Structure 1
């Protein structure tokens, strides 16, 4: 390790900076080595702090995991903002929305982390996802003008459909596509083509009654 790198790692950090660096390191470890690679010791070594320092910031390994998931969900909702705004006006928007979710679960690592937390049996670590998912449903519903309960239920079903598909793609997509001799992106295109069926039932019924 170079002297310059060592000096950088040993610098004093304000608490928020230390948390951000720890979460970024945990994400990188998850993507490169899988869930088993995300430990307090590994993260501490990566960013040049002590194990006790990370305990101070996150309380436990579970606290770090929850913070990591919260960070991933925050990144996802931020990435979706522009796609949601275009859903009603841009023909390519459904695929853009699907791509944002699939990227978050795949390259963003949310799929692997969600699987890890689910298999651990302690679903409380998924609580940071709850508010983000509800906010996503509300944002899409508002953009689509889905005011009644039936229309909002359709939006909720659409979000579940996209997320479950993205989760499956992140975990088993490449080998499954290979078995079926399908090209990259095949799953994303199928989900995008079906998405309007969830999002426009109210508009279709309104048009039919007007006719």
Structure 2
């Protein structure tokens, strides 16, 4: 006696639950397949809802992508805030700070997100990161006892250096490390070792 298989029932979700699941799925698709993989059809298939249901929640594919950007930017901002909090305690150290930022750009997906936003040309999505980045500069300056404005500008350059390095590592780090026979944490350790150099200022002319 054969038993016929029935299609799984679509379970009902609260609106916020549906949005949350859709964004989780969209992030996974972005990390595995890039921006082109983030479509309404793909997300709907992943979480077991209809295409029309996602249209109801996000309005369009662009609406879904915009919501995903906002969600990931919020996570990046939180990761930077955590780095700031650790840096303001005795536990903070250059390598821990670098690890926090690198982790946000790699496992958190901020690297792909930044590339996506840059290619879209709409940099307004990055505006919420502004305060978190400025807080990071202030935290590094306080931790290292920076007093004058020139040295604080150096800290701004240090954060730029960390973020650009983390961005490059997230996008092309693994194959480059393989080519150069470098360990997984090579870039992180180089960046951490160079941070103190951003504090070096020219002595005042006598």
Q: Shorter-chain-normalised TM-score: which range?
A: 0.7 to 0.9
Q: How many residues align?
A: 197
- Which 5+ residue runs of structure 1 have no aligned equivalent? none
CA deviations on 1:129-166 (whole Å, 9 max, x unpaired) are 22213332234415634676544433332222111111
Give the TM-score normalised by the residue count of structure 2.
0.79
Whether 1:26 and 2:31 are equivalent positions in the alignment is no
Quote the offset at 1:88 in angstroms.
5.3
Instruction: Name the stretch that deviates more: 97-106 or 79-88.
Output: 79-88
* Secondary structure, aligned partner of 2:183: coil
More helix by share: 1
Over the aligned positions, Cα root-mean-square deviation in angstroms equals 3.0
* Secondary structure, aligned partner of 1:176: helix
| Cα separation, partners in 2 of 1:162 and 1:142, compared to 1, 3 Å | closer
**Cα distance in 1 between the residues matched to 2:87 and 2:54:** 41
Residue matched to 1:161: 161
Residue matched to 2:78: 78
Question: Larger Rg: 1 or 2?
Answer: 2
Instruction: Name the stretch that deviates more: 105-114 or 167-176.
Output: 105-114
**Cα distance in 1 between the residues matched to 2:159 and 2:36:** 29
Give the TM-score normalised by the residue count of structure 1.
0.77
Match of 2:131 among 120, 123, 134: 134
* Secondary structure, aligned partner of 2:128: helix
Whether 1:10 and 2:11 are equivalent positions in the alignment is yes
Alignment of 1:53-72 (within 5 A): 53-72=53-72
| Cα separation, partners in 2 of 1:83 and 1:115, compared to 1, 3 Å | closer
Contact 2:34 / 2:112 at 8 angstroms: preserved in 1?
yes
Quote the offset at 1:185 in angstroms.
0.6
- Which 5+ residue runs of structure 2 have no aligned equivalent? none
Contact 1:177 / 1:184 at 8 angstroms: preserved in 2?
yes
**Cα distance in 1 between the residues matched to 2:113 and 2:169:** 14
Contact 1:137 / 1:155 at 8 angstroms: preserved in 2?
no
Whether 1:44 and 2:41 are equivalent positions in the alignment is no
